[in-house]
């Protein structure tokens, strides 16, 4: 029996939050990354300083937009990126 895959119209395309530049207020950005991810302070600092870095992966668009807004408020440059459609859905 062949596997069948369905993409529902109501499904939201998952988004990634990408930190592109921590800016000059690195510790403020580290605190925001820590709050968003739940990582330790040390791991958040490593993530925030190794850019470009995916801070959140596969989150809904509204949550991704809120996360980017929080990072921008802390002085960083960040963006959301929609995840590409899987190959098996392309016809």
Region 45-64 average pLDDT: 93
Q: Which of 12-16, 60-64, 80-84, 85-89 has the highest mean pLDDT?
A: 60-64
Class of domain 15-84: alpha beta
Is 0.75 surpassed by the pTM of this model?
A: yes
Half-sphere exposure of 63 (CA within 13 A, CB side): 13
- Return the pLDDT at 82: 85
What number is the average pLDDT over the span 35-40?
95
**What DSSP string describes the chain?**
--------TTPPPPEEEEEEE--S-HHHHHHHHHHHH---HHHHHHHHHSSSEEEEEEE-HHHHHHHHHHHHHTT-EEEEEEPPPPGGG--
d(CA 14, CA 79) in angstroms, rounded, equals 14
Amino acid 24: pLDDT: 94
Give domain limits for the chain. Answer: 15-84
């Amino acid at each position: 029996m062949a596997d069948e895959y369905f993409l529902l119209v109501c499904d939201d395309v998952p988004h990634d939050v990408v930190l592109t530049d921590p800016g000059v207020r690195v510790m403020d950005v580290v605190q925001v990354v820590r709050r968003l991810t739940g990582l330790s302070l040390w791991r958040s600092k490593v993530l925030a300083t190794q850019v470009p870095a995916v801070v959140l992966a596969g989150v809904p668009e509204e949550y991704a937009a809120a996360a980017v807004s929080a990072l921008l408020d802390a002085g960083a440059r960040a963006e959301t990126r929609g995840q590409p459609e899987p190959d098996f859905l392309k016809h």
